[in-house]
Structure 1
Amino acid sequence: MTAPVEVVPYCPEWPARFEAEKRVLQSALSPWLVGEIQHVGSTAVVGLPAKPVIDIMAPVASLPESAAAIAAAALAGYVHHPYRAEVMHWFCKPSPHFRTHHLHLVPVGSQQWLECLAFRDALRANQALRDEYARLKLRLAAQFPHDREAYTQAKAPFMQRVLSNA
């Protein structure tokens, strides 16, 4: 059983929650970090409704070179799950049933890294795009309240359209 899909109004505390967690992760993951930890996902876009989970993307040199970071993230309270293991090491905190944070260890410069930042930045820069995405997220959360994977997959065409124009 995992947490339901719940999209809530934007919370102005989300950036501060990211900054607090970033400090924890910089300490825990410093041997594997090759750049700046990024706030990504909908909580990183001011004014955008989101699932109340802070998405964090940390740059690593490669997945094999950062495998030992999995144990370090666990010591910081993160639970590893082999979701999309070919492109990232993925974690949730404190548990799959109740999530406050997602952590993505992603090779810097990879397609996953670049697309995640490009999508976030496109939403930050374009109010109409943000509004369209907000409507989509709310509709999909109502349609898939207990199926996170279906919710995520149903957003993919919108995300691809945004990325193709970025």
Structure 2
Amino acid sequence: MIIVPYDPHWPHQFEEERLRLLEEIGAYVLSIEHIGSTAVPGLAAKPVIDILIGVRSLQEAPLFIPPLEARGYEYVSQYEDEMPFRRYLHRKVNGEHTHHLHMVEPTTHFYKVQLAFRDYLRTHPETRDAYTTLKINLAEKYHNDRMAYTDAKSDFILGVLEQCGFQKDGEKNDQS
């Protein structure tokens, strides 16, 4: 696993892909957002563009997945048992992941926390920098174990989400 310094070209790469996605599946899409570490200026990241697509309905997945597969995306169904509200696809170039698509209905908790986490890091540079340090250290420690790397970031992410008004159980606080 490789963590690289922030690349100012990532937003442009996202925007190019967003336009292509709208051409292919725009009829099923309510929103397309750049998420993950590549969406936060100044944040070190794995060089993969994560894209959150708010779809009208997951019931339409049989209609919007084939055009994406024709564009080189691979549909990955293995996570649907634990995340039945999401359809996940990725694209690889020369064996390396370049794009991840997370397709959900915008009313889902997943959709809301992805945007909240991104927006918090964009507006709190000290937290962004602490996250960069954590990610670099964890990538060194777990360089061959992506699951352990992801799990080790959980407490930090949950802490940020608490700052955004989400409780430890992931639900939004009523006062927010």
- The alignment's TM-score, normalised by the length of structure 2, stands at 0.86
- Using CA pairs below 8 Å that are at least 6 residues apart, which structure has the higher relative contact order? 1
Q: 1:99 to 1:124 in 2, by over 3 A?
A: same
Give the structure with higher Rg (CA): 2
Q: 1:56 to 1:83 in 2, by over 3 A?
A: farther
Which residue in the other structure is 1:53 paired with?
A: 48
- Hey, what's the Cα distance between the residues in 2 that align with 1:160 and 1:26? 32
- Hey, what's the Cα distance between the residues in 2 that align with 1:90 and 1:58? 10
Q: Is the 8 A contact 1:83 1:89 kept in 2?
A: no
Which residue in the other structure is 1:153 paired with?
A: 151
Flag as ranges the 4+ runs of structure 1 deviating above 4 A: none
Pairing partner for 1:165 from 159, 163, 166: 163
Which deviates more from structure 2 when the two are superposed, residues 82-91 or residues 18-27? 82-91
Which residue in the other structure is 1:23 paired with?
A: 19
Cα drift, residue 96 of structure 1? 9.5
- Hey, what's the Cα distance between the residues in 2 that align with 1:119 and 1:68? 30
Unpaired runs of 5+ residues, structure 1, are: none
SS at match of 2:17: helix
- Hey, what's the Cα distance between the residues in 2 that align with 1:87 and 1:150? 24
Query: Is 1:130 the counterpart of 2:128 in the alignment?
Result: yes
- Hey, what's the Cα distance between the residues in 1 that align with 2:112 and 2:51? 14
- The alignment's TM-score, normalised by the length of structure 1, stands at 0.91
Query: Is 1:62 the counterpart of 2:57 in the alignment?
Result: yes
Which deviates more from structure 2 when the two are superposed, residues 96-105 or residues 137-146? 96-105
What value does the CA root-mean-square deviation take over the aligned residues? 1.5
